[in-house]
Amino acid sequence: MQPPPPSPIPQAITPPPPPQSTIPIPFPPLSPPPSPPPPSPPPPPIQRSPPPPPRALASPPQSNRHQPRRLRPPSPPPPARVFKQSDKSGLNTGKTVGLVFAGFAAILQICVVAFLVFKRKQLLRMTHTY
């Protein structure tokens, strides 16, 4: 069997020739159309050229990816921040704030209980007098 005949390649769209008439045309109609044909030829080469580079670049990135992975594990982790807490009380700021808050809450609870007991005694005295 014979392969099918190749389809005709579409060529750049060119405007039809201007009708010949006796009226002179002050502006030539051919000046704007020549600019569209030059952009049309570049797209086919652009479409043809990009597929080969990805194929050629497909294998090197894999090898490059393996090399950085081999280089990354040997690098030591950054040194941990060491604070000299032996000079201080040994508690960090968060623990200190938490303990101060807990102490303040406990003092308030004691004050409220004392106030309620005091008022209860006052009310009991008033009811006994009548």
| pLDDT for position 51 | 56
Give tens-digit pLDDT for 58-97.
Answer: 455 555 555 555 555 667 777 887 766 555 557 899 999 9
pLDDT at 87: 55
| Tokens 């569209």 -> residue | 36
Burial of 126 by CB count in 10 Å (0-12 exposed, 13-18 middle, 19+ buried)? Answer: exposed
Q: Domain map of the chain by residue range? A: 93-130
8 Å CB contact between 74 and 51: no
Tokens of 15: 């405007």
For residue 35, what are its two tokens? 């600019």
Per-residue tokens: 113: 């209980």
